[in-house]
């Protein structure tokens, strides 16, 4: 069963409000295949829902599968554990009553519009609407987050969840995107304003003259390839079904795309080189790629493990095991991995916008120097 309606859902609320005409365009597009990133996100949503709803440990769910993805120790360490740590900060005293993966709807106010809230909870004088974001590519903000407001508005009208909002003066929208958490406190009145704005956009979307507008909300719109506004052909309606898509038009667009893709790649490469030469580019910076842990010295590591009383055969498979595997071995002996034995090494830098929370490479120079000093 779909976890949101085909008209508008939490993830599409921003697009529908900004571009009501997109509803009809998207409806005419062929079904979209799920991506590997979406499938991994679904797996992680399922895991954390099991943990919160049934009280099981995440470790007990290792090996759980969803399509081609398996819940591994790496996903536990990098995604689920940090997410649960942030969740504990929301409710440090364990007093929040909450529901997970709950379908909410607008009843007759917006017939057929529904979605699924990740976590809906109630604290003293505050309703909590929490959304998990397990992807790392796009940083999601909580302030004026339309997906969060969609779930809040729908939950206010859903009989099974409206108790969460009764008598509260505040509504908090929380985005947990491991390892980060973004929070925004608003009022029930603001949620009602959003609801009216959403209803107006849904009503407008049914008309041929509905507003068609390009903006950041277009990012995940499946109708981009044939959107009259994006292609510049606003003066004629495009029928976006397989049998009616003009192959000549698509071929022309592809030739333009090949040129643009090469230009974009060269532009990014040039910007990367300029920033490496300390030439500032407004709005952009270089950040370190994800670091991987390595042994400072395998010999030093084996010597230290022997001093701790370990059987060194536990640390050797076909070769010396990784620091991550060594941590598991040490955990069985109730020991911690000595920090001085490992160093985190980045494979290079990557170009990002200034809004990315990661520090610029120049800001982490001291950390790199300290890491490299371990090798001497």
Lowest mean pLDDT across 6-15, 22-31, 172-181, 254-263: 254-263
d(CA 153, CA 147): 10
- Do residues 43 and 61 share a domain? yes
Of residues 261, 216, 256, 224, the one with CA closest to residue 353: 216
- Do residues 111 and 149 share a domain? yes
Peptide bond into 87 cis (omega under 30): no
Q: Residue 176: inside a domain, yes or no?
A: yes
- Do residues 181 and 56 share a domain? yes
The predicted structure's pLDDT at residue 288: 81
Mean pLDDT of 335-351: 85
Lowest mean pLDDT across 229-238, 252-261, 312-321: 229-238
- Dig out the tokens for 371 from the structure: 């890491």
Q: Residue 163: inside a domain, yes or no?
A: yes
| pLDDT over 90 at 13, yes or no | yes
Q: Residue 3: inside a domain, yes or no?
A: no
| pLDDT over 50 at 104, yes or no | yes
The predicted structure's pLDDT at residue 237: 43
The predicted structure's pLDDT at residue 371: 56
Q: Could you report the per-residue pLDDT of 261-293, keeping only the tens digit for each?
A: 777 887 888 888 888 888 889 999 988 887 778
Give the torsion through C-alpha atoms of 37, 69, 289, 329, to 10 deg: 160
Q: Residue 240: inside a domain, yes or no?
A: no
Q: Residue 110: inside a domain, yes or no?
A: yes
d(CA 110, CA 130): 22
- Do residues 342 and 359 share a domain? yes
Cβ distance 334 to 283 under 8 Å? no
**CATH number of the domain encompassing residue 178:** 3.90.320
Q: Of 343 and 240, which is predicted with more confidence?
A: 343
What separation in angstroms does the CA of 79 have from each of 47, 73, 176, 252, 309? 11, 10, 10, 42, 33
d(CA 122, CA 164): 5
Q: Of 97 and 293, which is predicted with more confidence?
A: 97
- Do residues 258 and 338 share a domain? no
d(CA 305, CA 338): 9
Q: Residue 214: inside a domain, yes or no?
A: no
Q: Confidence band (pLDDT; 50, 70, 90) for 365?
A: very low
pTM for the whole structure: 0.63
- Do residues 75 and 154 share a domain? yes
Q: Could you report the per-residue pLDDT of 114-140, keeping only the tens digit for each?
A: 999 999 999 999 999 999 999 877 889
166's CB contacts (< 8 A; 6+ apart) are: none
Enumerate the β-bridge partners of residue 26: none
- Do residues 257 and 356 share a domain? no
| pLDDT over 70 at 234, yes or no | no
Q: Residue 25: inside a domain, yes or no?
A: yes
- Do residues 186 and 39 share a domain? yes
- Do residues 261 and 332 share a domain? no
Give first-to-last CA distance, the chain, whole Å.
58
Domain that residue 136 falls in? 10-205
Cβ distance 219 to 21 under 8 Å? no
Q: Could you report the per-residue pLDDT of 27-64, keeping only the tens digit for each?
A: 888 887 888 889 999 999 999 999 999 999 999 999 99
- Do residues 99 and 41 share a domain? yes
3-state secondary structure of 308: coil
Centroid of chain to Cα 189: 28
The predicted structure's pLDDT at residue 240: 43
- Do residues 192 and 307 share a domain? no
The predicted structure's pLDDT at residue 35: 85
d(CA 54, CA 58): 11
- Do residues 62 and 126 share a domain? yes
Other Cβ atoms within 10 Å of 282 Cβ, number:
5
- Dig out the tokens for 204 from the structure: 């407008």
Domain count, the chain: 3
Mean pLDDT of 204-227: 88
Q: Confidence band (pLDDT; 50, 70, 90) for 235?
A: very low
């Amino acid at each position: 069963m779909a976890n949101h309606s085909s008209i508008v859902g939490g993830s599409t609320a921003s697009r529908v409000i900004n571009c009501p005409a997109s509803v009809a365009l998207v409806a005419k597009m062929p079904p979209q295949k799920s991506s590997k990133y979406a499938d991994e996100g679904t797996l992680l949503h399922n895991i954390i829902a099991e943990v919160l709803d049934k009280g099981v440990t995440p470790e007990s769910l290792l090996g759980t599968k969803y399509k081609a993805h398996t819940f591994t120790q790496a996903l536990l360490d990098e995604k689920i554990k940090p997410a649960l740590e942030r969740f504990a900060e929301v409710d440090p005293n364990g007093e929040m009553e909450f529901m997970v993966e709950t379908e909410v709807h607008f009843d007759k106010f917006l017939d057929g519009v529904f979605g699924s809230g990740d976590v809906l909870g109630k604290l003293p004088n505050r309703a909590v609407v929490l959304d998990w974001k397990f992807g790392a590519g796009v940083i999601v903000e909580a302030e004026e987050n339309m997906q969060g407001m969609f779930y809040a508005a729908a939950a206010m009208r859903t009989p099974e969840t409206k108790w969460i909002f009764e008598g509260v003066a505040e509504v908090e929208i929380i985005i947990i995107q491991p390892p980060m958490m973004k929070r925004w406190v608003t009022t029930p009145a603001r949620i009602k304003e959003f609801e009216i704005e959403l209803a107006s956009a849904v009503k407008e979307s049914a008309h041929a003259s509905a507003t068609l507008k390009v903006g950041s909300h277009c990012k995940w719109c499946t109708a981009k390839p044939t959107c009259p506004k994006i292609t510049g052909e606003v003066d004629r309606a495009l029928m976006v079904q397989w049998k009616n898509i003009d192959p000549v038009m698509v071929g022309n667009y592809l030739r333009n795309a090949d040129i643009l893709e090469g230009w974009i790649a060269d532009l990014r490469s040039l910007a990367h080189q300029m920033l490496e030469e300390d030439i500032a580019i407004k709005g952009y910076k270089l950040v370190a790629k994800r670091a991987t842990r390595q042994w400072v010295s395998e010999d030093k590591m084996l010597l230290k493990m022997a001093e701790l009383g370990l059987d060194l055969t536990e640390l050797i498979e076909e070769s010396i095991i990784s620091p991550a595997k060594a941590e598991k071995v040490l955990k069985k002996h109730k020991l911690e991995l000595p920090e001085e034995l490992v160093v985190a090494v980045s494979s290079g830098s990557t170009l990002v916008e200034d809004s990315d929370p990661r520090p610029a490479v120049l800001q982490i120079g001291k950390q790199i120097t300290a890491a490299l000093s371990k090798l001497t």
